[in-house]
Structure 1
């Protein structure tokens, strides 16, 4: 692990991915389509591919998930181990973006709950 990575790491991405997994069934029960959790490896060559198999990731840099509602509106949620998230919602021709700070895997779970609730309304 690089010195830069050690200084920046504040989020355990395995714990954060578990927050998505914990919520998946509930989201699907209310009609959302939930994609696989994707992982990006900091050590991979550019362009860094997104992988769905965690075992292929040596140095996790980010996780993401795509959620689609029944109207076809998509939410793309990405969490970076450095402590921020990208929340992109695609509504037809519009893209709504937000980039909140995230302090922990538990805070990421709360962010998921709030963002998906807005996405459902």
Structure 2
């Protein structure tokens, strides 16, 4: 898989939103990293220093019954999921066929945040 997005820069976009999430009452989990060099299934790690060849990052959000997550892969696509705890469920793969860059990933983080409002 080609590395088309800088995951370290993308993590900074996650970190920039943590204060906003807290202010909105959204609990954000630790950023997770996956190392493609590890045996399958690749374990998730929460420390960047423990990952040699990162192939994805992710974060989970929660507020009351609402749950959401986004996982960005170095290939430029993301797994995007949101559920309102009732009947609304969003599952998408933004960037599939039209790779995300860090700016577009930031837009997906903002879109996920707005679903919690």
1:77 to 70, 75, 79: 70
Of stretches 16-25 and 85-94 in structure 1, the one that deviates more from structure 2 is: 85-94
Once residues 91 and 26 of structure 1 are traced to their aligned partners in structure 2, the CA distance between those partners, rounded to angstroms, is 19
Cα deviations by residue, 1:29-83 (Å, 9 ceiling, x for unpaired): 11000000000001011110000011010111000000001x2211011000101
Cα deviations by residue, 1:71-102 (Å, 9 ceiling, x for unpaired): 22110110001010111123437542011104
Runs (5+) with no aligned partner, structure 2: none
1:1-121 mapped onto 2 (5 Å cutoff)? 5=1, 8-69=2-63, 71-92=64-85, 95-101=89-95, 102-120=99-117
Runs (5+) with no aligned partner, structure 1: none
Number of aligned residue pairs: 113
Residue pair 2:94, 2:100 contacting (<8 A) in 1 also:
no
Higher helix share: 1
TM-score computed with the length of structure 1 as normaliser: 0.86
Cα deviations by residue, 1:14-43 (Å, 9 ceiling, x for unpaired): 000110000101111110000000000010
SS state of the match for residue 69, structure 2?
Answer: strand
RMSD (Å), alpha carbons:
1.4
Once residues 108 and 8 of structure 2 are traced to their aligned partners in structure 1, the CA distance between those partners, rounded to angstroms, is 16
Change (3 A) 1:46 1:93: farther
TM-score computed with the length of structure 2 as normaliser: 0.89
